[in-house]
Every structure is written in structure tokens, then in C-alpha cells.
Amino acid sequence: MKESIDDRITKRIREVMQQYEPDYSPQAWEKLRKQMPVPVFWLKRVLLKYKYWFAGVGIVGVLLVAYKVTSLTASDNNSANDPITSESVNQIVSEKSKEVIYSKKVAALSISKDSNRREEENISLKGTTVLVTDPLQVAYQDYIQPENAIAEMPESIERNVIIPVFTEEISLGYQCDIAQLIPMRSQTEEISGTKSLSSERTSKSKFQWPELNSIFIKEESYDKFVGPNKLAVFYSPEFLRSNSLKSLGASHGIGISFEGPIRTSISLSAGVSYQSINFHKTISPIKVPESPDDTTYIESGNYKYLEVPVSINFKFFESSGSQVWLGTGISSIIFLKQDYSSETIIGGISDQSAFSAKGWENVLPLASLNLGLYYRFQLSGRLSLNSEVLYKYHLVRLGYNSMKLDRFNLQIGLVYRFGRED
């Protein structure tokens, strides 16, 4: 059988190409040398390789530290407001002497020589620095009698007393085995006309935001594990804008999220949602030079993925039955399925190619930064209607066609509150 023309051409191409090798080009080496990576320190390499994981861990770390700091502030406030109890005095008595430095705080010094408490004199003064060292041996009256002391020293130290200290910064070389600095209470303000310790502390860390005081106020018998935790189930339609496709699209999903309070007005929430994105873009018709036919190019696909958002939320408005929250956080994305197809139609002849990636191929730990506004309407004691508007700015490109997305996500669902009532 005679060899066909196509076979002859193919054979010739194969023969020639197997023998052909272009000559070495020094310019090509120069070009490559410039592209070659400079040896990188191993730590930098590790940091670059796992940058998204480190960023994720960093954000979680910052959230934890913020939580810890706010917890400590609140517990300090609580202890600051506690009156002196017999237990605390007894505890003080049993403690070994130690150096206490209390700086720039309004405080009073409590001294007890024996644990049999009688009548308490409670004179609160403000002071700035107190240094207490060894057991009380000396007539401390010598030490604690600055000229500017507001009140007289108590004459006796045979009982528990709150002694006046000072109004200006003073270093008190004081020997005392039973000493405690006690922040002044409201009485102090009346005496000195200055702010109390608690108000001073609050003002230091206070961020001017509506109802922000409640952020730092820990409710009595507050326990985050039995607090007003919430479980939300939602449906989330969304609009998305693809920078790469220059098109708008719509998608939808469902999900659940768990929300735990940190403070009255702050909560942390984490959830998981299943989203499905459809896209379809027709570029038509394109006039191609030297071709009699127009070309139509169609790009379409469907991506299904799990999204795991974590956010911190601030309640900044509350009225009877309604709450408005502002939330910010990050989302991770785990692809389940990617179906992508492109079709080129030239002169009525279609040339189609399709691609389907396996599930779990793409895991993006830090996929998007989210900013949301939530509105909650209380339906009953434990049930609320929740609606959210979220803007999701994608940090990485998604999917087989590397889409850069901006997403406007709407969520509507029900919130069930369990644990302690608000």
C-alpha cells in the first residue's frame, strides 16, 4: 500500500527533528543565569514555602493573645473592685514578706499585725509608688507620714487597717510582713477628687466605640463555656466578580457556624460552608487577522468547595430584640471538585476541551479576608433570625483557570443560642 502524503510528511518531520539541535547560544545562558534563584537561607525557604500556614497560625495567635489580654484586664478589674475580705487578710498574713512595687496607681496599703480583725478603719488615699520589703518591725509612722499625706496615720497597728499612704510619688522603704496594696474605691475619688483605679485602667485601654465598655466587662458568674453560645445554620447566595474573566456571577451554598462569646460584645465564630460557583464567559465574535471566519471563545465551569471561615465579631448596636454586629476574619478553602471547559468555535466548527480535577487537590489555608455586617432579630428566647452581608477579598487565585475573585456573600439563617441565657 502506498504511503499517504500525511504519513510521508510526518515521517520526514520525525527524521529531521530527531537529528536537529540548534547551536549553543551564550545569550541564552546569560538569560538563564539571571533567572536562576540566588541560594536562599533555609529558614527563609521554609518561611516562603509555608507562608500561608504561618500567616494563618499568626492570626490565630494574635486572636488568642488578644483574648488572653482582655481576660486578664477584666479579671484585674474584678479583683480591683473586690472589698477586703477576712480570707484575703488571712491569706496575706500567711504569706511570706515580699517586695511589692505598685507604680502610678491609686492605692492604699493594708496592714494587719494579727489576724483578729476588729473595727476597720478605712481611709483611702492615692499614691504612686510603694515599696514594701521586710517584716514590720519599725514604727512605720516614721516612714509613712509624708507632709502631703491626706489623712492622719492610724495610731494603732493592732488591727487591720487601711492606712493612708501618699499623694505624690514616694518610695517607701517599708518593712512589713503583712502588706497588701489595695486599689482605692469610690471613697478615694471623693477624697482626692481624682479618678479611681478601675476607671483609670479602663480609660487607658479604652477604644472609643459604642458600648465598648461592655467588651471589657466580664459579667458576674460569666463562663465562656456555658455562655450564650450560638449555632447558626444558613443559606448563602452570593455575587462574585471575576477579575480574570471580567464578569459577574452568582453562586450559592449552605453552612453551619459556631459562635462563642469572649465578652458581652465580642465573639469568635468558626464554621464550614459548602459553596458552588458557576461561571460562563463568552468572548464573541473575535475577528482574527488572516482568517475569513470569526472566532468565538467560551470559558465555563463549576467549582465546588468547602469554605472554613474564622472571624472575630463586635456587637456595636443593640436594641430590644435586635443586634448589629461587625465581623472580620479569614477563610480557608478546600476544593472538592473543579469542572472547567473551554470551547473555540471557528466558522461553525467547535473545538472543545474539558478538564476535571480530583477532589482535595487544592487546599488554600489563607484564601480570603472577610469583612461582614450581621443583623440579628430575636424570634424567641433562644432563636434568632440572622442575616449577614460579607465581602470576601481573595488573596489567592482559584481553580484551574486561576480566577481572581471578589465575593459579596449574603447569608440568611437561624441562630440557636444554647448555654446560659444572655
Partner 1 sequence: MRIKGEQENSKDFNKVLKGCSRGNLKAQEDLFKLYYGYVMSIALRFSSCHDNALEIANDSFLKIFMKIKSHQIDKEFKAWVRKIVVNTAIDYYRKDKKNNMEISIEIAYDEPADESVIDNLNAEEIIKLINSLPMNYRYTFSLFEIEGFSHNEIALQLGITESTSRSNLTRAKKMLRHMILINSHYERVN
Give contact residues for partner 1 (rule: CB under 8 A): 5-6, 8-10, 12-14, 16-25, 28-29, 31-33, 35-37, 39, 244, 286, 288, 291, 293, 295, 297, 299, 340, 342, 344, 346-347, 349, 351-355, 400-402
- We find the least distance from the C-beta atom of residue 24 to partner 1, in angstroms, to be 5
Nearer to partner 1, 48 or 64 (CB): 48
Nearer to partner 1, 28 or 270 (CB): 28
- We find the least distance from the C-beta atom of residue 335 to partner 1, in angstroms, to be 16
d(CA 216, CA 71): 8
- We find the least distance from the C-beta atom of residue 276 to partner 1, in angstroms, to be 21
Nearer to partner 1, 1 or 36 (CB): 36
Q: Which three cell numbers stand for residue 367?
A: 484564601
d(CA 53, CA 224): 28
- We find the least distance from the C-beta atom of residue 397 to partner 1, in angstroms, to be 11
- We find the least distance from the C-beta atom of residue 285 to partner 1, in angstroms, to be 12
Nearer to partner 1, 230 or 281 (CB): 281
Evaluate whether 414 touches 378 at the Cβ level (below 8 Å).
no
d(CA 84, CA 24): 89
Residue position matching grid coordinates 456595636 = 316
| Side-chain half-sphere exposure of 302, counting CA atoms within 13 A | 5
- We find the least distance from the C-beta atom of residue 52 to partner 1, in angstroms, to be 21
Nearer to partner 1, 19 or 320 (CB): 19
Nearer to partner 1, 42 or 225 (CB): 42
Give me the residues paired with residue 223 across strands: none
Evaluate whether 239 touches 404 at the Cβ level (below 8 Å).
no
Nearer to partner 1, 31 or 51 (CB): 31
Nearer to partner 1, 5 or 43 (CB): 5
d(CA 367, CA 344): 31
- We find the least distance from the C-beta atom of residue 245 to partner 1, in angstroms, to be 9
Nearer to partner 1, 43 or 139 (CB): 43
- We find the least distance from the C-beta atom of residue 332 to partner 1, in angstroms, to be 25
Cα dihedral angle (259, 262, 267, 273), rounded to 10 degrees? -30
Nearer to partner 1, 20 or 42 (CB): 20
d(CA 304, CA 252): 10
Nearest partner of 84 among 8, 2, 3, 184, judged by Cα: 184
- We find the least distance from the C-beta atom of residue 349 to partner 1, in angstroms, to be 6
d(CA 282, CA 247): 10
Evaluate whether 346 touches 293 at the Cβ level (below 8 Å).
yes
d(CA 157, CA 153): 10
- We find the least distance from the C-beta atom of residue 382 to partner 1, in angstroms, to be 50
